[in-house]
Amino acid sequence: MKIYKFGGASVKSADGVRNLEKIVKTTDQQLVVVVSAMGKMTNALELVANSFFNKKSDTDTLIQKVVDYHEAIISELFGNSRATVDLLVNDLYDDLREIVSHKPSLSYDYEYDRIVSFGELISTTIIAAYLKQRGLEAEWVDVRRAIITDSNYREGNVNMEISAKLCNEAFTGKKLCITQGFIAGTVTNQTTTLGREGSDYTAAILANVLDAKDVTIWKDVPGVMNADPKIYKDVQIIPTLSYKEAIELSYCGASVIHPKTVKPLQNKKIPLYVRSFVEPEKEGSVICNYTKQINLPPIYINKRNQVLLSLTPRDFSFIAEERLSKIFGVLASYRLKSSLVQTAAISFSLCVDYNEVNFQKMVDELKDEYEVLYNTDVELITIRHYTKEIVDKLVGERLVYVEQRNRLTARFVVPA
Ligand code: ASP
Ligand code: MG
């Protein structure tokens, strides 16, 4: 069995769906296709969730935008033979409207998950119906009854044991399954999600529990690149990477795969191919159990939208282990992720993914005990396999707030 994952950009239009069909047809092996929400529909549904939760008046208008987007794609794909798909998607639109016709509960995260999950539910419904109409033996599978998480809404923790059993029941023995990335369910059938951009992780979980031969992520880049081609011109493709290198890169902010994707694959030594849906004939990159020393070029990652925070205890006490564990506890409770930390005797600096609301709440909680200083609008530049030339080129004369180097990696916090 193979797993293919298609992200939102690959299925943002009718042409994208036709291209998916073309790629799916290139293999005659048993296949599970994991699909994200079409285009930017998760963002659009986040607006619906916010409007609903905050009892604003534009919820229906925002839902209509989501409906219109999908309807345009359906018209183009199905023409006049759309009766079957209409029945299915209309049910989903009705379900969504039904949710927002009631009062929201007190949990934002719970409401968020049950609303944004419609992006994946609708995209897979359209795609499965389309493939069937094209004569493929495609089966739509509701992943919420197969991948089971706890009720940590918006970042569900997967129970691999129960999921393994349910996934094997749901997917085994079927030629071609179409299922949702990013979403999951609890043991009591509540909808959860695995965190933004989590569809890669879904593909990896399925590969692990189904003992797939390999996973392919179809992307709008030709493979894993040594830098973001949207920012830099002279980038190159890296044909082979070890799991370790891949996990380091995604942790540093390389957007090529979701950081959680590597573990389930590494644990079963399942290779992960990253290939272009625009040029599917090209080989792309493979992330696998590669232990030999690979000579990699410098790989550089600009992690934007960071905030640099510095904490100094007001009573002049040392930043010792107990304090650190408390600080990290506070970070975790606001779901803020630190990407770099540096300690000194009585001060502690860290670079955090910026989320305005949660960040302010965290600062409020810390400021009684600490003097809190911060710079928003900073970026973290990470250079793996750095050379003097590349450091000069990327950092040069720029102001550097924090710098860290070890044998393989150099990191710089600079104003954005
Ligand atoms: N649709 C989800 C998102 O945009 C999951 C994904 O694309 O991986 O975050
Ligand atoms: Mg996406």
Q: What angle do CA 5, 7, 12 make, to 5 degrees?
A: 130
pLDDT digits over 127-136, tens only?
999 999 999 9
Cβ 300 vs Cβ 383: under 8 Å: yes
Calpha distance 374→308 (Å, rounded): 5
Q: Is 83 helix (H, G, I), strand (E, B) or coil?
A: helix
Q: Is 85 helix (H, G, I), strand (E, B) or coil?
A: helix
Cβ 94 vs Cβ 146: under 8 Å: no
Cβ 318 vs Cβ 345: under 8 Å: yes
Q: Is the beta carbon of 198 within 6 A of some atom in ligand 1?
A: yes
Amino acid at 389: E
Q: How far is the CA of 37 from the centre of ligand 1 (A)?
A: 6
376: nearest Cα among 306, 311, 312, 310: 306
Checking if the pLDDT of 212 tops 90, the result is yes
Characterize 315-339 residue by residue with b for buried, 16 or more Cβ atoms within 10 angstroms of its Cβ, and e for exposed. Answer: eeeebeeebeeebeeebeebebeeb
**Ligand 1 site-directed mutation target among 199, 205, 206, 218, most atoms within 8 Å of CB:** 199
Calpha distance 60→100 (Å, rounded): 8
Q: How far is the CA of 110 from the centre of ligand 1 (A)?
A: 17
Task: Supply the mean pLDDT for the chain.
Answer: 95
- Nearest CA owner, ligand 1 atom 2: 197
pLDDT digits over 367-385, tens only?
999 999 999 999 999 999 9
More confident residue, 142 or 257: 142
- The model's pTM: 0.93
User: Measured between alpha carbons, how far apart are the two ends of the chain, in Å?
Assistant: 44
Starting from the CA of residue 122, give the closest ligand. 1
pLDDT digits over 291-350, tens only?
776 789 999 999 999 999 999 999 998 888 888 999 999 999 998 989 999 998 899 999
- Nearest CA owner, ligand 1 atom 6: 197
pLDDT digits over 168-206, tens only?
999 999 999 999 999 999 999 999 999 999 999 999 999
In this structure, the chain runs to a length of: 416
pLDDT of residue 259: 87
Checking if the pLDDT of 286 tops 80, the result is yes
- What is the pLDDT confidence band of residue 56, given thresholds at 50, 70 and 90? very high
Starting from the CA of residue 180, give the closest ligand. 1
